[in-house]
A and B are shown apart, each in its own frame.
Chain A
Amino acid sequence: MTAGPQIALSKPAGVLQAPADPVFRQIRDLVYKVSGIYQVEEKLYLLADGCGRRMRQLNISTPREYWDRLTAHTNRDAEMRSLLNEVTIGETSLFRSQPQVDAIRKVILPELISEKSKQIIKRLRIWSAGCSTGEEAYTLAMVMMEEQAHLLKDWTVEILATDLNDRSIETAKAGIYGDYALRSTNDYFKRKYFDPAADDKLQVKPEVKKLINFSRLNLHDDSKMLFMKGLDLIFCCNVLIYFDGPSKSKVVNHFFNDLNSGGYFFLGTSESLLKLNEQFHLVHFPGAIAYWKPSRTGKKP
């Protein structure tokens, strides 16, 4: 095509595969306001599917009625939790966000290491808070092991992974995953860090597990939260969405205090901290967002 660029235009009608009923956009906005989870237009159908499943269970026939259930009904908070469960279900997998992994390897680790290089103990502490069945913690462990030959040479890496649910912790400790959880894991990592397990599944190798300390922790438990100190990276993916406003901001404040200056806090990829903590700086990396606890030097990024 030889013609030069031409352009313009407002939102094209009917191009995106969005559900027709405008109520779903209202629900999307409500979900965002309550939980900080944002469903982009392209994924609005996932929200509509989730609502559909809830509606069938509740025997509700129209999205408008379901909207009333979410807003006016006495059980609206419980219903919102059920909907959030539907929306975030199946989101966990290893290497779920490549841009996040890239940001850690290419930008954050070099920065942390240069800032901490003067310290006598060369140690990085990472916390997967609300680790569920361990996918995120193992991803981090493998990424750190990849860097151990270069960037993290002579560094000790500790990964804490906690969850409220004992059964999740047991599953996490076993470290056995099937195709679905491994759908974003490339062959290089599969070969290097996994052993074959029964039913065509793969099990994380012992040397990866060694890096992680799995334990049970309730994020509402203030005394335990005060005990978590000296962290460089905290990940808390799709967990805070279930908390009410006041407890959410309390937990986020704990996270802020538990981080070292210069450390980073990550939420899920479509999750926002809303206005819960004004001390964190929102920072962008290519394709990824994080919250940064400013360094003591006050150095701008």
Chain B
Amino acid sequence: MSTGVTSTITERVNRIETMPSIPAVLLPLMELLNAPPDKVKLDEVVKLVSYDNTIALQTLRIASSPLFGLPRAPQSIKAAVMTLGLRQVGAMVLTSCLGQAFPTKGWALDPTVFWRHSLGCAMVCRKFSERLHIIDADKAYMAALLHDMGFLVNCLMFPEEFADALERASQESIPLVDAEQVTMGFTHCQTGRALAEKWRLATEIVQVVAHHHDIEHCEADHSLVSLVHLGDLLCRMRNLGYGYYERQKVDLVSDPAWSVLVKEHREMENIDLVRFTFELDEDLTEIDQLVSAIFGSGKAASAR
């Protein structure tokens, strides 16, 4: 893609007034949560969560949802944060911010489909990192949760063009990113990058957003981008794609991203990918429950 197109996207993304702005609490909160676990200041996290009404309410609501099976709903933000755990608070705040920033009505891409894929990918990447001690698991979770944020930008800023791309992808059973390139001349990787940079997200997250479909052009930290690339592929092969049949054969071990990870982390070679895949199927229930909790009942299951 030419620099011309890139600057056009950036211009368009910057110019449009409806372009979502980053919620004020997000950056300081992420900074707090990214500290080593024993150094995280719980009280400050609670203070920041309480500062944003929407986030505070959602924190309480999630902590009291039946998923946690608590005998009674937590009565304070502090209790809710402690129920969820700091990692969950971080992920929730991020998702909640994205959700606030983007309306869910009139999306070309069904939001339940989008969140199933993003959450699935986040879970896969976290599990992979935990299993192999290759990359900080929480970082992997965040990066994967956000990797496709460009689709949100596309739904909002280029609704018609993106609807055409999605239509073409499902008609021809091809990867959505290829359909975007053909019909729009750019992809969610570029639009996602523009927003991620505008929001001043961490460089490594920007790299994941920009290069999870072309790891060879990644400018730094190949490991994280490679991991998310593989997680994305695996999810699309296990009922966590974009809601249509992708006519694809995926050989993860022969993928260049796999070689990147093996080179840096020899223990990758020992992973049992089949069992890993079966275990991902087990997570589908949990993912669907989460998505249902967000969008109301029934929808997530029909998105399969």
Q: Are A301 and B251 touching (Cβ within 8 A)?
A: yes
Residues on B with C-beta less than 8 A from A198 are none
Selected from B98, B241, B252, B285, the residue in CB contact (under 8 A) with A282 is: B252
Segment touching B, from A2-10, A76-84, A125-133, A215-223: A2-10
With an 8 A cutoff between CB atoms, is A56 at the interface? no
Q: Hey, which chain A residues are within 8 Å of B89, CB to CB?
A: 8
Main secondary structure of the interface of B (DSSP, over half): helix
Once A11-B286, A107-B247 are accepted as A-B contacts, the answer to whether A6 and B62 lie under 8 Å apart by CB is yes
Give the contacts of A4-38 with B (CB-CB under 8 A): 4-16, 32, 38
Whether the pair A300, B251 counts as a contact (CB closer than 8 A) is: yes
In-complex Cβ contact of A6 among B96, B239, B254, B282 (8 A): B96
Complex alpha-carbon distance, A282 and B69, angstroms: 39
Closest B-chain residue to A8, C-beta based? B88
**Among the listed stretches A65-73, A226-234, A266-274, which one makes contact with chain B, having 4 or more residues with CB under 8 Å of it?**
A266-274
Interface centre among A11, A41, A111, A274 (most CB of B within 10 A): A41
Q: Are A5 and B282 in contact (CB under 8 A)?
A: no
Partner of B277, one of A8, A11, A289: A289
Cβ of B151 to closest chain A Cβ, rounded Å = 13
Question: Is the CB of B253 closer than 8 A to any CB of chain A?
Answer: yes
Chain A residues positioned under 8 Å from B251 (CB to CB): 281-284, 292, 300-301
Bound: A259/B277 CA distance, A:
25
Knowing A3-B99, A6-B95, A38-B275, the reply to whether A286 touches B241 (Cβ < 8 A) is: yes
Residue in A6, A15, A284, A285 whose CB lies within 8 Å of B252: A284
A285→B95 contact, CB < 8 A: no
- The contact of A32 among B92, B104, B275, by CB within 8 Å, is B275
Q: Decide if A4 touches B68 in the complex (CB within 8 Å).
A: no
- Given A7-B62, A107-B248; A287-B95 close (CB under 8 Å): no
A-B pairs with CB below 8 Å: how many? 154
A3 close to B54 (CB less than 8 A): yes
Given A5-B96, A7-B95, A41-B282, also A284-B249 (CB < 8 A): yes
Residues of B within 8 A of A8 (CB): 62, 84, 87-89, 91-92, 95, 290
* Size bracket of the B interface: 35 or more
Residue picked from A11, A12, A273, A300, most chain B C-beta under 10 Å: A12
Interface size on A, residues (CB 8 A): 41
CB-defined contacts of B279 to chain A, threshold 8 Å: 40
- Residue A187 CB within 8 A of the other chain: no
Instruction: Please give me the residue from chain B that is nearest to A6 by CB atom.
Output: B58
Which residues does chain A contribute within 8 Å of B168, judged by CB atoms?
A: none
Judged by a CB distance under 8 angstroms, whether B17 is at the interface is no
Residues in A neighbouring B96, C-beta threshold 8 A: 4-7
In this complex, what residue of B is CB-closest to A16? B285
Q: Is the CB of A7 within 8 A of B92?
A: yes
- Contact partners of A282 in chain B: CB under 8 A: 251-253, 273-274
How far apart are the CA atoms of A94 and B278 in the complex, in Å? 23
Residues 190-214 (chain B) with a chain A CB within 8 angstroms: none
Are B69 and A7 interface neighbours, CB within 8 A?
Answer: no
* Residue pair A289, B274 in contact (C-beta under 8 Å): yes
CB contact list, B32-68 vs A, under 8 A? 54, 58-59, 61-62, 66-68
Contacts A/B (CB < 8 Å), 24 sampled: A3-B54, A4-B95, A4-B99, A4-B100, A5-B115, A5-B295, A6-B95, A6-B294, A7-B92, A7-B290, A8-B91, A9-B84, A16-B285, A38-B275, A107-B249, A272-B278, A281-B251, A282-B253, A282-B274, A285-B250, A286-B236, A286-B246, A287-B238, A300-B251
Q: A6-B61, A286-B241 are in contact. List 4 more A-B contacts (CB 8 A).
A: A13-B68, A272-B272, A284-B249, A286-B236
